[in-house]
Amino acid sequence: TCFNPLDRPRKAGSIGRNIVNVENKVVDEFGEELEPGEVGELIVRGPNVMKGYYKLPEETMLALKDGWLYTGDMARMDEEGYFYIVDRKKDMIIVGGYNVYPREVEEVLYSHPNVTEVAVVGAPQPETGEEVMAFVVVDNPEVTAEALTDFCTLHLAKYKIPMTIEFLEELPKNTTGKILRKNLRDQITKP
């Protein structure tokens, strides 16, 4: 639905602008279009959009509304019409009313020299709704959760810092190498 134009410079992190005959826009939870720079759900309309899920009318009704496909991707658009994927809507963590995008926390942890793999998920927390939890693989067994928390403190707002860091030998993945967040969420003990 988007493409980086060949006649213009690429923008780091952008998926590009609308392709011909396709519209993308970023909307809030009520389907209202957001201003450039604001994060919301990316929706798409055009001849290349699916007609529905095969034999799944309820899922189709949730994904397709008024001719728009609700992608489940959280995104923002800049002033020039370039789109940027922020994270998946279902992966967003809500801490005390604040949105935390796992990808942002993961990028900070990946910048630590000893972190080789990381996945961030929301863990139930009775007072704030959820808290940030990180599953981490490191190349040095002497790296501690406290050291990684201190590292995050330098780069993230307080509510985005993982409250729990669990070390694993490796993260669960499917056959294509995609990290299975559901498996990690299933490991979390409910309060």
- Whether the pLDDT of residue 187 is over 90: the answer is no
Name which of 42, 181, 4 is nearest 105 in CA terms: 181
CB contact at 8 A, 101 and 86: yes
To the nearest 5 percent, what fractions of the chain are helix, strand and coil? 20, 35, 45
CATH 3.30.300.30 positions along the chain are 92-187
Question: Cβ atoms within 10 A of the Cβ of 83, count?
Answer: 21
Highest CATH level, class, for 2-86: mainly beta
According to the model, what pLDDT value does residue 189 have?
65
Dmax (CA) for the chain in angstroms is 54
CB contact at 8 A, 137 and 117: yes
Positive or negative: CA dihedral 60, 66, 69, 75 = negative
CB-count exposure of residue 172 (10 Å: 0-12, 13-18, 19+): middle
Non-local (6+) Cβ contacts of 59 within 8 A are 53
Segment 175-184 shows an average pLDDT of 92
Band (10; pLDDT cuts 50, 70, 90): confident
Band (27; pLDDT cuts 50, 70, 90): very high
According to the model, what pLDDT value does residue 8 have?
86
**Identity of residue 81:** G
Highest CATH level, class, for 92-187: alpha beta
Q: Which residue has the higher pLDDT, 3 or 190?
A: 3
Segment 82-88 shows an average pLDDT of 94
Segment 47-61 shows an average pLDDT of 94
